[in-house]
Amino acid sequence: MADYALHLWTDLCGGELLDSLAEKCRNAAAELNLAVNTHLWDGDWYARGITDSGIAFGTQRDEEGQIFLAPQVWAMLAGTCDDEQQSSLIAAVEQRLLTPHGVMNMAPSYTHLRRDIGNLSHTHPGLGENGSIDSNTAAHYAHCLYRAGEPERAYEILRAMIPGPDGDDYRQRGQLPIFMPSASFGAYNELPTRTGSSSHNYNTAAATGVYRTLLEGLLGLVVEQDGLSLQPQLPAHWPGAKVVRKFRGATLYINIERESGIAGTHISVDGNVLDEDGIIRNLQPGKRYQVEIVIGQAPLALMDDYSQEQPIRKTA
């Protein structure tokens, strides 16, 4: 988390007066990344932390609490992992944390108190930080997957946060799809028949994370210093989408459509073809813009796999 914050400060520091601070942030981030990769990379994913006695936990040698979602999220956000590490940790999350009703925040859940870790291991399996399906952490993970160019995986994570669409899923969760709970019962390895049961708590921090993930990831409306970048990543089975985006005083009416027989992404603003970098610049406050985005048809294999919405599934 600290590393990600340092990268954000580096991006915000501009101009001669802040160049020195930006350099300090870059150096600190590089040092922190090196330390994390030296002490917390466990071969396939990142450990959760180090105890007071100097023992890393959240590792493959642990019988309980082997893998935690949060450190994988922050490593992806901060650029701590290289491409090979990123592929490895995504595979580990899919194998060990995915359930039919969403992604757990850790697994296997603690069933016995581990004193050097504390209250986390004292919580009932499947609740709170001890293996629940936490909406906030799941939203951030979906955001990471979009940043990594994994739109299908990201969409499955988001879709699993909402009950349905089949009756069995509604009955398992015990909740209608009218709000997103702060968490659902996890512990898929220990208590699979209870997995997905809603906490019915709508006081959640996930709203902002989901909003950002939908806006910047799925719809691809990314704020840049000199304008709005358009990088849609619709799931394979979506034929298109429409969105109204207010940005720096301007209003953009954006229509995204798939079209067969083309490659890449084609964008026009009020009938004028946009530059290849896909950034809309010089938007005028108070003005309305019509934006047309045409994207190539998804590969047939993806269309077959995602032709119908399906609840997320455990891969192993």
Residues 309, 66: Cα–Cα separation, whole Å: 31
The string over 170-181, giving b where at least 16 C-beta atoms fall within 10 Å of a residue's C-beta and e elsewhere, is eebbebeeeebb
Q: Domain segments of the chain: what residues?
A: 40-217, 228-305
Closest CA to 120 of 130, 109, 132: 130
228-305: CATH topology is Maltose phosphorylase, domain 3 (2.60.420)
Token pair for 80: 């701590």
CATH T-level fold of 40-217: Glycosyltransferase (1.50.10)
pLDDT in tens, the chain (316 residues): 666 666 665 666 655 557 777 778 778 888 888 999 999 999 999 999 999 999 999 999 999 999 999 999 999 998 999 999 999 999 999 999 999 999 999 999 999 999 898 888 889 999 999 999 999 999 999 999 999 999 999 999 999 999 988 888 899 999 988 888 999 999 999 999 999 999 998 877 888 999 999 999 999 999 988 899 999 999 999 999 999 999 999 999 999 999 988 888 999 999 999 988 899 999 999 999 999 999 987 665 554 554 444 444 444 3
